[in-house]
Structures are given as structure tokens and as C-alpha cells.
């Protein structure tokens, strides 16, 4: 079912002249999950709306599904599953009816709808709550209904715009794990927009980092972290230590070493999930961050600390 989706020279200029998306080429391989990452206003929702057929590209751009030009095809004929920012469920309908809504709208008879809805309820583990209304659910449960509703009609392309935006951190993490398993099992082509770097890295086979209406870099999560194309991307997907003279490194490239060439002054230490993250005041006035090995002694605040640097891991911009 999953589609190969392509944007070819797709741009979007709004009526007031704002350029929501600059001319963009993007290929989504069938069954791949792409995480779209970038600051507020960089064009993420605009790109999704163009893929969905909720907005038309500027003249000259084309959207292709499996090589077929669908630029003129409206959203209801593109077989898209969507969970957008805010994921509005129908408040007066039960969970089961919400999930079956897309099938009902497409004229699928009840006898075929019911087993599909039951399957979706199992998938998102809400069988016991099928008869409730959205206002009788928790935020995470509502989120799972929205996901099941989008998936029920077996979409060729699943578009998720900040699906966990309204949830607290612990629930986000739990749903992230569930969603990753679900997407792997279903093998549906998917794009998920998130503000959260860790989420993008965890969910996407590929990550696309957007900036100012364009895709700044696309690659595997590892590529983007280890070989970022520019300073913006590097800083956006992880902590970046400025070593001066256009040289930067990740926290992992630094470790305490009395014989090391660098020296900083310890400004703070944070203990987090078994690891200690150390912040140092760098000689140039900036801040360096590194992580201590588990069990390694935490140096006192204000003390000087010499550091070794893994030269192979130095990034230059």
C-alpha cells in the first residue's frame, strides 16, 4: 500500500508574499519514515500540506505518487492519513466511531468497517475504551485514537504534524516507542514533524532538517549528527562545543585528561539517568559541554579541568 512520494521543485508563496517553502526536491521511499525537524516557522507544516494536497504549489512545482503527477488531485483522492497539530477528534462520537470515520466517509460498508476498527483498537490498545467519547479519555489515549483514525483507511502516506505536542514528557516518550514499533510493523510511508531532536532521531529512518523555507540537510540520524552540513544543522541536532577558529565538536569528543591540550573551568554538573553532564567555561568565553563516564569522579565547581580532544571528531564550519 505504501507509496513513493516525491516533491519536484515544489514551492509555496502565500497571498501576502510570504515564502512558506522555497523550491524543494524531496523523495520519500515506500515504507520509509522521515522526521522533519526545524525551528518554528521554517515551513514544516507547509511542506506537509503540499504533500497532502491541502495546498497547491506555486506554478512549476509537481507532486508525484509512484511516479504519477498528483499535483491537481485534491486531498480526499490522495489516500492520506493525517494527524495534525491539535488532532481534533469528533467530540460527540465514540472512540470506535472516530476511528471508523474515514472508512464511513469513503462509503465502506459497516460489515467491513467493524473488523477494521476492531483491528485498529487492538493496535493502539484501546479495546476497552471503544465506547467512550473523547472527553472521557486522557491526552495520550486521545492521541492514540487520532493515530488509529488516520491509519484505519490504510493510507498510502501518513503525515504526522507534532502528534505529541500537547503531551507531557513521560507520555511523549512512551508514545514515541509505541509509534516507532507501529510504523515498523505497518511499513507505511510516513513523515513526522517534531520540534524535538531526540524524537526525530528516534523515529526517522531519515531526518530532514529545515531552515527558512528550505531543507538544509537530509540524511540518516547518525549522518546528520556526525557530519552536519553546516553550523545551523549541527547546533540544531545536538550540543555543539565551539573550539574557536571555526572548529567545533560534540560532547563525546572531549574527555578529562590531565595531559590534554585544552583547559576549561567547571561551571556546572548535571546528573541525568546515570550520566553526569559537565559544563565548562571555555577560555574564549564560550561554554563547553562533555559527559563523564559512569563512576568517574565529578570535579568541583570552579576548578580547572584539562581535556583531551578527539581530533578525528572535530567539525569545521
Ligand X SMILES: Nc1ncnc2c1ncn2[C@@H]1O[C@H](COP(=O)(O)OP(=O)(O)OP(=O)(O)O)[C@@H](O)[C@H]1O
**Member of 41, 131, 261, 284 binding ligand X (CB under 6 A):** 41
CB of 32 to ligand X, least distance (A): 21
Taking CB under 6 A as the binding criterion, the range among 16-24, 170-178, 182-190, 298-306 that sits at the site for ligand X is 16-24
Binding site for Mg ion (CB under 5 A): 45
- Please give the sequence-ordered ranges of beta strands (E in DSSP) within 85-213, or none if there are none: 157-161, 189-194, 206-211
Q: Min. distance of Cβ 127 from Mg ion in angstroms? A: 32
Q: Which is nearer to ligand X, 21 or 126 (CB)?
A: 21
Which of the listed partners (ligand X, Mg ion, none) does 46 bind, with a CB threshold of 5 to 8 Å by partner kind? Answer: ligand X
Q: What is the DSSP pairing of strand 189-194 with strand 157-161?
A: parallel
Tell me 302's DSSP state. T
State the binding partner of 138 from Mg ion, ligand X, none, CB within 5 to 8 A by kind: none
In the chain, the N- to C-terminal Cα span, in Å, equals: 42
Per the structure block, which three cell numbers stand in for 257? 585528561
Is residue 46 a contact point for ligand X (CB under 6 A)?
yes
Work out which of 2, 11, 20, 103 binds ligand X, going by CB under 6 A. Answer: 20
Nearer residue to ligand X within complex by CB, 43 or 216: 43
Starting from the edge strand earliest in sequence, which strands make up the sheet with 5-13, in order?
19-28, 5-13, 62-65, 68-69
Please, which residue, 39 or 261, has the CB nearer to Mg ion?
Answer: 39
- Scanning residues 107 to 126, which ones bind ligand X (CB under 6 A)? none
* Site membership for ligand X, residue 16 (CB under 6 A): yes
Give Cα separations from 159 to 192, 197, 243, 300, 301 (angstroms): 6, 18, 39, 48, 47
Sites for ligand X among residues 177-196 (CB under 6 A): none
Residue 115's SS3 state is helix
Structural contact between residues 284 and 247, judged by C-beta atoms closer than 8 angstroms: no
Minimum CB distance to Mg ion, residue 182 (Å)? 22
The DSSP letter of residue 178 is H
Contact flag: residue 83 with ligand X (CB under 6 A):
no
Largest CA distance in the chain: 74
Of 19 and 279, nearer to ligand X (C-beta) is: 19
For 139, 197, 202, 223, the CA distances from 194, given in Å and listed in that order, are 18, 8, 11, 19
Least CB distance to ligand X at residue 238 (A): 19
Give the per-residue contact string, 21-40, with ligand X (x = CB under 6 A; - = no). -----------------x-x
Q: How far is the CB of 216 from ligand X (least distance, A)?
A: 13
Angle (CA) 211 215 219, round 5°: 120
Regarding 42 and contact with ligand X (CB under 6 A), the answer is yes
3-state secondary structure 299-314: CCCCCEEEEEECHHHC
Among 43, 102, 155, 204, binds ligand X (CB under 6 A): 43
Q: 157 in the Ramachandran plot: left (φ > 0), alpha (ψ -120 to 50) or beta?
A: beta
Query: Please, what is the minimum distance in Å from the beta carbon of residue 244 to ligand X?
Result: 32
Binding stretches for ligand X (CB under 6 A) = 14, 16, 18, 20, 38, 40-46
Amino acid at each position: 500500500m505504501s507509496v513513493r512520494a516525491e516533491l519536484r521543485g515544489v514551492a509555496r508563496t502565500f497571498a501576502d508574499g510570504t515564502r512558506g517553502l522555497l523550491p524543494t526536491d524531496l523523495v520519500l521511499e515506500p515504507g520509509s519514515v522521515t522526521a522533519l525537524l526545524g525551528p518554528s516557522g521554517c515551513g514544516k507544516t507547509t511542506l506537509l500540506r503540499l504533500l497532502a494536497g491541502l495546498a497547491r504549489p506555486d506554478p512549476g512545482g509537481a507532486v508525484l505518487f509512484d511516479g504519477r503527477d498528483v499535483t491537481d488531485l485534491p486531498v480526499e483522492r490522495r489516500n492520506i492519513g493525517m494527524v495534525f497539530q491539535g488532532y481534533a477528534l469528533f467530540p460527540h462520537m465514540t472512540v470506535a466511531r472516530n476511528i471508523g470515520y474515514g472508512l464511513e466517509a469513503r462509503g465502506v460498508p459497516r460489515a467491513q468497517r467493524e473488523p477494521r476498527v476492531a483491528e485498529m483498537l487492538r493496535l493502539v490498545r484501546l479495546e476497552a475504551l471503544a465506547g467512550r467519547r473523547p472527553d472521557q479519555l486522557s491526552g495520550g489515549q486521545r492521541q492514540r485514537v487520532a493515530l488509529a483514525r488516520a491509519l484505519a483507511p490504510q493510507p498510502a502516506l501518513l503525515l504526522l504534524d507534532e502528534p505529541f505536542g500537547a503531551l507531557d514528557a513521560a507520555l511523549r516518550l512512551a508514545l514515541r516507542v509505541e509509534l516507532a514499533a507501529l510504523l515498523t510493523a505497518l511499513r507505511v510511508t510516513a513523515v513526522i514533524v517534531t520540534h524535538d531532536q531526540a524524537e526525530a532521531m528516534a523515529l526517522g529512518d531519515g531526518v530532514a532538517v529545515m531552515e527558512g523555507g528550505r531543507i538544509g540537510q537530509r540524511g540518516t540520524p547518525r549522518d546528520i549528527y556526525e557530519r552536519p552540513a553546516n553550523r545551523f544543522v549541527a547546533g540544531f541536532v545536538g550540543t555543539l562545543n565551539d573550539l574557536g577558529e571555526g572548529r567545533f565538536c560534540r560532547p563525546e569528543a572531549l574527555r578529562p585528561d590531565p595531559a590534554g591540550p585544552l583547559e576549561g573551568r567547571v561551571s556546572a554538573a548535571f546528573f541525568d539517568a546515570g550520566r553526569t553532564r559537565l559544563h565548562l567555561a571555555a577560555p574564549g568565553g564560550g561554554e563547553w559541554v562533555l559527559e563523564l563516564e559512569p563512576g568517574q569522579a565529578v570535579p568541583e565547581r570552579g576548578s580547572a579541568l584539562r581535556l583531551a580532544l578527539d581530533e578525528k571528531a572535530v567539525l569545521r564550519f
